[in-house]
A and B are shown apart, each in its own frame.
Chain A
Amino acid sequence: MSYFDLADRPLRELNAALHALPVDTNDTHWNVENPAGRHAIACGLTVPITVDLKGHVGYYCAGMNKDADVTIRGNAGVGVAENMMSGRVTVKGDASQSAGASGRGGLLVIEGNAAARCGISMKGIDIVVKGSVGPMSAFMAQKGNLVVFGDAGEALGDSLYEARLFVRGTVASLGADCVETTMGDDDRAALAAVLDEAGLADPGDFRLYASARSLYHFKVDNLDAY
Chain B
Amino acid sequence: MTHRTLPRFSATFDPHTISEIQRAAATGIYDIRGGGAKRRVPHFDDLLFLGASVSRYPLEGYRERCGTDVVLGTRFAREPVRLKIPVTVAGMSFGSLSAQAKEALGRGASAMGTSTTTGDGGMTEEERGHSTTLVYQLLPSRYGMSPDDLRRADAIEVVVGQGAKPGGGGMLLGQKINERVAEMRDLPEGIDQRSACRHPDWTGPDDLEIKIEELREITDWRIPIYVKVGASRPYYDVALAVKSGADVVVLDGMQGGTAATQEVFIEHVGIPTLAAIRPAVKALEDLGMHRKVQLVVSGGIRSGADVAKALALGADAVSIGTAALIALGDNDPALEEEYRALGTTAGAYDDWHEGNDPAGITTQRPELASRLDPVLAGRRLANYLGVLTLEAQTIARACGKSHVHNLEPEDLVALTIEAAAMAGVPLAGTDWIPGRGL
A: residues with CB less than 8 A from B are 11-12, 15-16, 19, 39-40, 43-44, 46, 58-60, 63-64, 66, 78-79, 82-83, 85, 97-98, 101-102, 104, 117, 120-121, 123-124, 139-140, 142-143, 161-162, 216-218, 220, 223
Tell me if B6 is interfacial: C-beta within 8 Å of chain A.
Answer: no
Q: Are B200 and A101 in contact (CB under 8 A)?
A: yes
Given contacts A142-B186, A220-B27, whether A58 and B200 have CB atoms under 8 Å apart is: no
Contacts of A98 in B (CB 8 A): 200-201
Q: A46 contacts which of B148, B185, B207 (Cβ < 8 Å)? A: B148
- Closest CB-CB distance, B220 to chain A, in whole Å? 6
User: CB within 8 Å of A: which of B171-193?
Assistant: 173-174, 185-188, 191-192
Is B15 interfacial (CB 8 A cutoff)?
Answer: no
**Interface SS majority for chain A:** loop
Known: A44-B217, A78-B207, A104-B146. A161 touches B27 (CB 8 A): no
B186: chain A residues at CB < 8 Å are 104, 123-124, 142-143
What is the interface of chain B, defined by CB distance below 8 A to chain A? 27-29, 141-143, 145-148, 150, 173-174, 185-188, 191-192, 196, 200-202, 207, 210-211, 213-214, 217-221
B191 in contact with A121 (CB, 8 Å) = no
Cα–Cα distance between A217 and B174 once the two chains are bound (Å): 8
19 pairs, A vs B, C-beta closer than 8 Å: A12-B217, A12-B221, A43-B217, A44-B218, A64-B218, A66-B147, A78-B210, A83-B145, A83-B147, A102-B142, A104-B145, A120-B201, A123-B142, A123-B143, A142-B185, A142-B186, A216-B192, A218-B173, A223-B28
In the bound assembly, the distance between CA atoms of A158 and B27 in angstroms comes to 26
The reply to whether B214 and A60 contact each other, CB–CB distance below 8 Å, is yes
How many residue pairs between the two chains, A and B, have CB atoms under 8 Å in the bound complex? 106
Name the residue on B nearest A58 (C-beta). Answer: B210
Q: Is the pair B214, A40 in contact by a Cβ cutoff of 8 Å?
A: yes
Cβ contacts under 8 Å, B28 to chain A: 220, 223
In the assembled complex, the Cα of A143 lies from the Cα of B28 at a distance in Å of: 31
Task: Tell whether A79 pairs with B201 under 8 Å between CB atoms, given A40-B213, A161-B187.
Answer: yes
Contact B147 A216 (CB under 8 A): no
Q: Flag if B200 contacts A120 (CB, 8 Å).
A: yes
The reply to whether B220 and A16 contact each other, CB–CB distance below 8 Å, is: yes
Please indicate the chain B residues that have their CB under 8 angstroms from the CB of A142 in the complex: 185-187
Q: B211 to chain A: which residues have CB within 8 Å?
A: 59-60
Please state if B200 and A60 are interface contacts (CB–CB under 8 Å).
no
A59-B207, A59-B214, A218-B29 are known contacts. Are A121 and B146 too (CB-CB below 8 A)?
no
A140 to B170, CA, bound (A): 13
Chain B residues within an 8 Å CB radius of A101: 142, 200-201
| A7, chain B: closest CB distance, angstroms | 18
Determine how close the nearest CB of chain A comes to the CB of B353; give it in whole angstroms. Answer: 11
Indicate if the CB atoms of B201 and A60 lie closer than 8 Å. Answer: yes
On whether the beta carbons of A40 and B147 are closer than 8 Å, the reply is no
CB pair A63 B218 closer than 8 Å = yes
Residues of B within 8 A of A104 (CB): 145-146, 186
The docked-state distance in angstroms from the alpha carbon of A40 to that of B200 is: 16
Give the residue name and chain of the B residue nearest to A140 (CB).
B196
Measured between beta carbons, the chain B residues less than 8 angstroms from A60 are 201, 210-211, 214
Besides A39-B213, A104-B186, A220-B28, 13 more A-B contacts (Cβ < 8 Å) are: A15-B217, A19-B220, A43-B214, A60-B201, A66-B147, A78-B210, A79-B200, A83-B142, A83-B145, A83-B146, A121-B141, A216-B192, A218-B29
